[in-house]
Amino acid sequence: MTQTVEPTHRQLGMTDSEFDSVVRILGREPRPAELAMYSVMWSEHCSYKSSRRHLGRFPTEAPWVVVGPGENAGVVDIGDGWLAALRIESHNHPSYVEPHQGAATGVGGILRDVFTMGARPIGLWDQIRFGPLDEPKNRYLFGGVVSGIADYGNAVGVPTVGGEIGFDPCYSGNPLVNVMCLGILKRDQLVLGTAGTPGTVAVLLGNSTGRDGIGGASVLASASFDNESREKRPSVQVGDPFEEKKLIEACLELYTKGLVVGVQDLGAAGLSCATSEPAGRAGVGMEVDLDAVHVREPEMTAPELLMSESQERMMAFVDAANVEQVLEVADKWEIDSAVIGVVRAGDTLTIRHKGEVVAEIPAASLADDAPLYDRPRARPSELDDVWATEPRLPDDLDLADAVLRLLDDPAIGSSAWVHEQYDHMLFLNTIVGPGADGSLLRVKGTNKGLAVSTDGNGRLCQLDPRRGGARLVFEAALNVAVIGAEPMALVDNLNFGNPEKPEVMWQFVESVAGISEACESLGVPVVGGNVSFYNETEGVDIYPTPVVGLLGLADPVPNEPPRIDRAEEGMEIWEIGPEPTASLAGSSAERIVLGTLTGRPTAPDPEVARQVIGLVRELAHTVPVLHDVSDGGLAVAIAEICIASEVGATIELGDPSLLFSEDPHRVVAVFEHGAVEPPGDIARRIGTVGGVALTLGDATIDIATATDAYREAIPRRMTS
């Protein structure tokens, strides 16, 4: 029997033609360390080789954009001398392998992307999706991910002020864990990921380098998932929020003192990335000495040192004259530091280990010459049939029972079980925290507030990725408008299946188009994002699940921002926005009552969207309650107001399809009679607050019963 040994490049996940490109670039066979570097840098996760040519579709420009896509985080100008930095990142595959540490290190990674820019991180948002909670495995994953985010976020000292929770069987073998971070900085503190000019010194800060997570993010996140994934377990990384907290404070002190030329975090692809990217960006070369790297384990090889994804490390580029001071700051904060390299003229990245040159490559080639694929695309053939089948509620539907079932759904019910495990109050900025439509953080010393909403909806995007993608943006915009903010910039996290399947590529490109069109219509630039492919298990892809994070600026912050717990006996209930159609395609009612996924979601209307967003933003300064209509439609939106305000309501409308419709651009407003006069063509009165029950046409739901269902939706499942 002959045993065939896979060539090294294939073991590292590289195709034969990618290997040939390396040979062509170098004009020779790569050395082992060089091959290691190309393999991680050219992985799907780091190179965006399947997605890059499509991401160019995003609109990225606006007068307030300071840094667009391409750096570690996007940066926008919010006035008064302040900038905001934002980015979103996924940790889907690591979180399936080890939910607690996978989620924790995801938080650590996104924080580094933001404080790399010179910003102090002030808020985190998590978007997490799992299979149904009646399966023990999913409860384990959900509980582990939430405790991982809590452990890391709380201890690192950055509040988690919002997010999203979803459940669907398509995520059972592949949960989604996305995290967004927002930071603020003074204009003159902006730092970029550049290596600077020849003579600049590279200082590695923070954790020691170990074998943990060798090729972790890049390999795990760049291939399909199957039972072999168990074998990849040694690549699990353990987060150390304490080290990261010290690293944040040390870096911020370096920025305030003006001691760095550039900074790059060490995330996926570790040292390979943190040397080649900054050098490539600056158009310089670099000499690196791996023997200077502080290590956790003895006898590490050069490829291991270059591929390790050990957490909580940063690379600072420093003028030679400032090195002493930089090391002192590191000492003060009790973090390790090591001078590991120096920038050289030219474009060659030379890496030495034990006195020998182990790599000598054009620095920019790792990023710039990465393969670029135009993968085939095909519209799923069954889509016409799916669109032709409108979901219809049964004529004998028990409306009250259906509303209670929706409120008891863990994706709709109260998120308190999750967000009360997160410190969401640190820094005294949280004016509107988790559990509301969007979050609102004040910017101290100004009248401004930063509003953020994150939104994803795999079901809508499965039915129509273009309309779905666009509707996410409009929904996020409405969510920041209800707290008085104007949409300003967007980051996106594109969670998709296997890009080698033409249907998945089609979904991807359609979603990008939908998000782009909506952003263009609102004048919102995309300033950064992330792509996560290969979210499939045993050949079955997840629903296409792009997630958007929208930053809005409230200027000024409303004196009393609308909240859903401020409805009072006798107030009027209005619906603002277009009259809904009876379409239930992709809605929560379709999922919970019918258990199907069919029909074509209603198209968004950019003109109406702009009108409603503008109107709502003004109302946010005067109206006590504003709540956007989303999951569960009008019925759930009003029930949530009643539950939070501990009061009943009467709605004349009794048609379940209209009450459960999730058609876009709609908001519920509650206010005293005559307090405001919303324009009649876009707003209509639909009911009155009062009593102890919610009455929808002929159906009556006791608020105490509704409250129970809503509050217990997650806890009763997690403690069963």
Partner 1 sequence: MRTAVVQFPGTNCEHDVVEAVTALGGSAELVWHRDTDLSDFDGAILPGGFAHGDYLRTGAIARFSPVMTEVFRLADSGAPVLGICNGFQILCEAGLLPGALIANRDLAFICRLVEVEVADTDTVLTRTATVGQRIRIPLNSYEGNWVDPTRRGRVVLRYVDDPNGSQQQAAAVANDRGNVVGVMPHPERAIHDFLGSSDGNLLLEGFLHSLAPA
Partner 2 sequence: MRVRIEITRRPEIADPQGTTIRRALADLGHEQVERVRVDRVIHLDIAGDDRSAIESQANEMCRQVLANPVLEDFSVEVLG
Query: Of 47 and 310, which has the nearer Cβ to partner 2?
Result: 310
Name the minimum Å distance from CB 676 to ligand ADP.
38
CA 64 → CA 182, 519, 683, 717, distances in Å?
16, 15, 33, 45
Length of the chain equals 720
Write out the residues near ligand ADP by the rule CB under 6 A: 46, 48, 55, 58, 69-72, 89, 113, 267-268, 492, 494, 526, 528-531
Task: Report the residue from 44, 212, 249, 628 that binds partner 2 according to the rule CB under 8 A.
Answer: 212
54 noted as active-site residue: no
Q: Which of 69, 61, 66, 51 is nearest to 520 (CA)?
A: 61
- Of these partners, ligand ADP, partner 1, partner 2, none, which one is at the site of residue 431 (CB under 5 to 8 Å by kind)? partner 1
Task: Report the residue from 44, 71, 98, 113 that binds Mg ion according to the rule CB under 5 A.
Answer: 113
> Does residue 72 interact with Mg ion by CB under 5 A?
yes
Report whether 639 contacts 551 (CB < 8 A).
no
- Applying CB under 8 A, what is the total number of residues that bind partner 2? 21
- Of these partners, Mg ion, partner 2, partner 1, none, which one is at the site of residue 622 (CB under 5 to 8 Å by kind)? none
- Which residues are paired to 685 by β-bridges? 574
Contact segment (CB under 8 A) with partner 2 among 235-243, 281-289, 363-371, 633-641 equals 235-243
- Of these partners, Mg ion, partner 1, ligand ADP, none, which one is at the site of residue 543 (CB under 5 to 8 Å by kind)? none
Name the minimum Å distance from CB 540 to partner 2.
23
Name the minimum Å distance from CB 300 to partner 2.
12
Contact segment (CB under 8 A) with partner 2 among 186-194, 228-236, 340-348, 558-566 equals 228-236
Collapsing DSSP to helix, strand or coil, 676 comes out as coil
The 281-310 site mask, x for binding partner 2 (CB under 8 A), equals ---------------x-------------x
Q: Which of 696, 600, 156 is nearest to 404 (CA)?
A: 696
Helix (H) or strand (E) holding 14: none
- Rounded to whole angstroms, the Cα distance separating 72 from 412 reads 33
Name the minimum Å distance from CB 315 to Mg ion.
11
- Of these partners, Mg ion, partner 2, ligand ADP, none, which one is at the site of residue 492 (CB under 5 to 8 Å by kind)? ligand ADP
> Does residue 277 interact with Mg ion by CB under 5 A?
no
Which DSSP category does 592 fall into? I
- Rounded to whole angstroms, the Cα distance separating 176 from 172 reads 10
- Rounded to whole angstroms, the Cα distance separating 375 from 501 reads 8
Name the minimum Å distance from CB 165 to partner 2.
22
- Of these partners, partner 1, Mg ion, ligand ADP, none, which one is at the site of residue 422 (CB under 5 to 8 Å by kind)? partner 1
Task: Report the residue from 66, 97, 594, 608 that binds partner 2 according to the rule CB under 8 A.
Answer: 97
Name the minimum Å distance from CB 262 to Mg ion.
13
Write out the residues near partner 1 by the rule CB under 8 A: 147, 150-151, 154-157, 240-243, 245-246, 332-334, 416, 419-428, 430-431, 442
The residue from 9, 54, 91, 424 that is catalytic is 91
Q: Rounded to the nearest 5°, which phi and psi values hold at 602? A: -60, 140
Name the minimum Å distance from CB 332 to partner 1.
8
Task: Report the residue from 60, 154, 237, 587 that binds partner 2 according to the rule CB under 8 A.
Answer: 237
Name the minimum Å distance from CB 423 to partner 1.
5
Helix (H) or strand (E) holding 534: none
- Rounded to whole angstroms, the Cα distance separating 435 from 562 reads 13
Name the minimum Å distance from CB 614 to partner 2.
49
Helix (H) or strand (E) holding 699: strand 699-702
Contact segment (CB under 5 A) with Mg ion among 106-114, 212-220, 319-327, 522-530 equals 106-114
Task: Report the residue from 62, 236, 397, 608 that binds partner 2 according to the rule CB under 8 A.
Answer: 236
- Rounded to whole angstroms, the Cα distance separating 197 from 174 reads 44
Positive or negative CA dihedral for 416, 417, 419, 421? positive
Name the one residue in this structure whose structure tokens are 């998000």: 515
> Does residue 187 interact with partner 2 by CB under 8 A?
no
Q: Which of 509, 483, 428, 490 is nearest to 613 (CA)?
A: 483
- DSSP state letters, 89-158: EE-HHHHHHSHHHHHHHHHHHHHHHHHTTTPEEEEEEEEEEES-TTSHHHHHHHHHHHHHHHHHHHHHT-
- Of these partners, partner 1, partner 2, Mg ion, none, which one is at the site of residue 246 (CB under 5 to 8 Å by kind)? partner 1
91 noted as active-site residue: yes
Report whether 153 contacts 107 (CB < 8 A).
yes
- Of these partners, Mg ion, partner 2, partner 1, none, which one is at the site of residue 682 (CB under 5 to 8 Å by kind)? none
- Rounded to whole angstroms, the Cα distance separating 566 from 563 reads 6
Q: Which tokens go with 163?
A: 């997010």
Which DSSP category does 64 fall into? T
Single-letter amino acid, residue 23: V
**End-to-end Cα, the chain, rounded Å:** 54
Report whether 199 contacts 342 (CB < 8 A).
yes
> Does residue 312 interact with Mg ion by CB under 5 A?
no
Name the minimum Å distance from CB 71 to ligand ADP.
5
Q: Which of 673, 654, 696, 477 is nearest to 577 (CA)?
A: 477
Which DSSP category does 665 fall into? S
Q: Rounded to the nearest 5°, which phi and psi values hold at 658? A: -75, -35
Query: Of 120 and 459, which has the nearer Cβ to partner 1?
Result: 120
Q: Which tokens go with 225?
A: 């998932």
Query: Of 235 and 588, which has the nearer Cβ to ligand ADP?
Result: 235
Catalytic residue ranges? 45, 91
Q: Which residues bind Mg ion (CB under 5 A)?
A: 72, 113
Q: Which residues bind partner 2 (CB under 8 A)?
A: 97-98, 100-101, 210-212, 233-234, 236-240, 242-243, 296, 310-311, 334, 720
